[in-house]
Chains A and B, each alone.
Chain A
Amino acid sequence: MSKAPVEYLLHLADNAVVLGQRDAEWCGHGPILEEDLALANVSLDLIGQARLLYQLAAARMGNGATEDALAYFRDDKDFLNYTLVELPNHGALVGYAAADRDYATTIVRNFLYSALMVLVWDALQKSPDSDLAAIAAKSLKEARYHLHHAADWLVKFGDGTEESHARAQAALDHLFRYTEEFWTPSAVEDAAIASGAAVDVRTLRAAWDAIVADTLAEATLKRPEVRGYIPEGKHGRHSEHLSYLLGEMQGLARAHPGATW
């Protein structure tokens, strides 16, 4: 029975927990109360996915590993998430700059990521690693809802006002290059593909392009051209933003090592 390598589970879990952390930043600050609740739902789903994946990884690692040790006591260079999910909920700025949250950035990011994850989870639900397949089947339903929610708003923005159209296009222009990272397997992914339990993301590219093209057409938004640098978050080489995110997320837990909450 082939099993996915632990690092591959961590890659999937890190994506989920980091984006869950970003989406939860809207709780109490949404543009309309219904959206506070919707983003909280997305965040809860992602944190739930991360928990299942970390639990599975911890069980396979043994040696007293736990979900919280994996989420709270690994450093940024050990996190294997896509750079896309760690970026702040606003446009391009250096790590120690601050700006208002921008709902277009959040929606575009959730759209680009969940368009990938509906394909990833769909493939993984057929994985011979039955533990991973079970998590994928559950996560697929959630990712479909996340994609629906984000695509729906993206269309509203693109086909809404001049301002919303411009904001959505700016968010796409900012974030699109980060999706390039999806398509070149990391060493961790290569090992996982070799195990037979994972999905080769290269095979999902055409389907992802089609989802993106459909929604952007409906939203009358343009797919940006990207070239040059390809982000490397899933290799453990991140943007300036992840260490701030983890500093905040992990600080209290690390101040009390060994405590139970």
Chain B
Amino acid sequence: MYTQAMDIPDESGKKLAVVAGQSEQEAAFEARIDADGRIEPQDWMPDAYRKTLVRQISQHAHSEVVGMLPEGNWISRAPSLKRKAILIAKVQDEGGHGLYLYSAAETLGTSRDEMIDGLLSGRAKYSSIFNYPTLNWADVGVIGWLVDGAAIMNQIPLCRCSYGPYSRAMIRVCKEESFHQRQGYEALLVMMKGTEAQREMVQDAVNRYWWKCLAMFGPPDADSAHSAQGMRWGIKRISNDDLRQKFIDATVPQAKVLGVTLPDPDLKWNEARGHYDYGQIDWQEFWNTVEGNGPCNKERLATRVKAHKDGQWVRDAAMAHARKQQERAQKEAA
């Protein structure tokens, strides 16, 4: 799953200089973009395009990897073996998404180590949705339904993104995210048909996650820093507010079928607009969390840092063994 974060600048995104005056290469690039063609790794591209993509794809990859933690929190306690297996497979898929995305970003000339260093040092962002705690078992189903659901809304347009490797990764990722969403929703349906305590768990999880999911689409269009350039380059195709509205319109009927209440008294159908109206998102809280001061930011990042640090000797061993093997092979050949 993923991220609101394309619009959230981090350190590397602060100084994107666009060089004035158009070269022949630049004209070819622009023409390709205008024709809705794909840019491939070996093609010339402007520096700012490359940097924006590395930032966006690596943020997305980090989100997949950090996103393993909140759901991973329930693997050991899953209440049936079937649900345990589904959850392990889901968290594993998210790790797999991280891998494809790191590979896609590496085609732009930035190594996975550099990207991971960005995450662990706190320079790079990841989706803020993963900075909230998973407090009951229904959180797992709600994350599948709403968080993977919001991720799909965000990512479907990226399947047509101008950068070939990213668009191809998104096609594969989106298929799996849709599967996660259906599985999450199905788990909730079963719980809603179960005991009173199970229904309370689902409602509690929806109450905690609904507004956070709406914020995943990023700040309102009026306040969004990078959208215009992103649209021009075909790496952002639909605005934050339009995606958010699409998500709400799709989700309200699903909530009805499920039998949960979405925690927004202002949520109602607007016949004239042909959309649901909704209440005010707490952007202050959103920015607090994006800036590192949400409920679990410290825990999430510290956990990634610890796994990386504790794993150093394992990675060193693999390198040392590979080197020794190579030396032995060279000796034999000599």
Residues of A within 8 A of B (CB): 17, 21, 24-25, 27-37, 40-41, 43-44, 47-48, 50-51, 54, 67-68, 71-72, 100-101, 103, 155-157, 159-161, 163-164, 167, 248-249, 251-253, 256, 258-261
Q: Which of B301-328 contact A (CB under 8 A)?
A: 303, 306-307, 310-321, 324-325
A68 to B313, CA, bound (A): 39
In the complex, chain A residues whose CB is within 8 Å of the CB of B92? 27, 36-37, 40-41, 44
Q: Are A164 and B313 in contact (CB under 8 A)?
A: yes
Q: Which of B89-104 contact A (CB under 8 A)?
A: 89, 91-92, 95-96, 98-99, 102
In the complex, chain B residues whose CB is within 8 Å of the CB of A248? 76-77
In the complex, chain B residues whose CB is within 8 Å of the CB of A24? 75-76, 84, 88
26 residue pairs of the A-B complex, CB under 8 angstroms, read A21-B76, A24-B88, A27-B68, A27-B95, A28-B91, A29-B303, A31-B310, A31-B313, A32-B311, A33-B65, A47-B88, A51-B81, A71-B81, A159-B320, A160-B317, A160-B318, A163-B313, A164-B316, A249-B76, A252-B137, A256-B198, A259-B79, A259-B194, A260-B193, A260-B194, A261-B137
Interface string of B67-82 (1 = CB under 8 A from A): 0110010011111111
Q: With A48-B85, A50-B81 given, is the CB distance from A35 to B314 under 8 Å?
A: yes
A72 to B320, CA, bound (A): 43
In the complex, chain A residues whose CB is within 8 Å of the CB of B311? 30-32, 35, 103
Q: Are A156 and B318 in contact (CB under 8 A)?
A: yes
Q: Are A163 and B316 in contact (CB under 8 A)?
A: yes
Which of B72, B77, B99 is A28 in contact with, Cβ under 8 Å?
Answer: B72
Q: Are B320 and A252 in contact (CB under 8 A)?
A: no
A68 to B303, CA, bound (A): 31
A48 to B85, CA, bound (A): 8
A242 to chain B, nearest CB (A): 14
In the complex, chain B residues whose CB is within 8 Å of the CB of A67? 81
Q: With A27-B75, A28-B91, A32-B314 given, is the CB distance from A47 to B321 under 8 Å?
A: no
Which of A24, A30, A100, A251 counts the most chain B CB atoms within 10 A? Answer: A24
Task: Return the chain B residue nearest A257 by Cβ.
Answer: B195
B253 to chain A, nearest CB (A): 25
B106 to chain A, nearest CB (A): 13
A114 to B231, CA, bound (A): 53
Q: Are B81 and A17 in contact (CB under 8 A)?
A: yes
- Label chain A's interface by main secondary structure: helix
Q: Is B5's beta carbon under 8 Å from chain A?
A: no
A41 to B85, CA, bound (A): 10
Task: Return the chain A residue nearest B83 by Cβ.
Answer: A261
Q: Are A33 and B95 in contact (CB under 8 A)?
A: yes
A43 to B89, CA, bound (A): 10
Q: Are A252 and B88 in contact (CB under 8 A)?
A: no
Q: Are A40 and B314 in contact (CB under 8 A)?
A: no
Q: Are B314 and A31 in contact (CB under 8 A)?
A: yes
A179 to B249, CA, bound (A): 58
A102 to chain B, nearest CB (A): 8
Task: Return the chain A residue nearest B314 by Cβ.
Answer: A31
In the complex, chain B residues whose CB is within 8 Å of the CB of A72? 79-80
Q: Are A36 and B317 in contact (CB under 8 A)?
A: no
A237 to chain B, nearest CB (A): 24
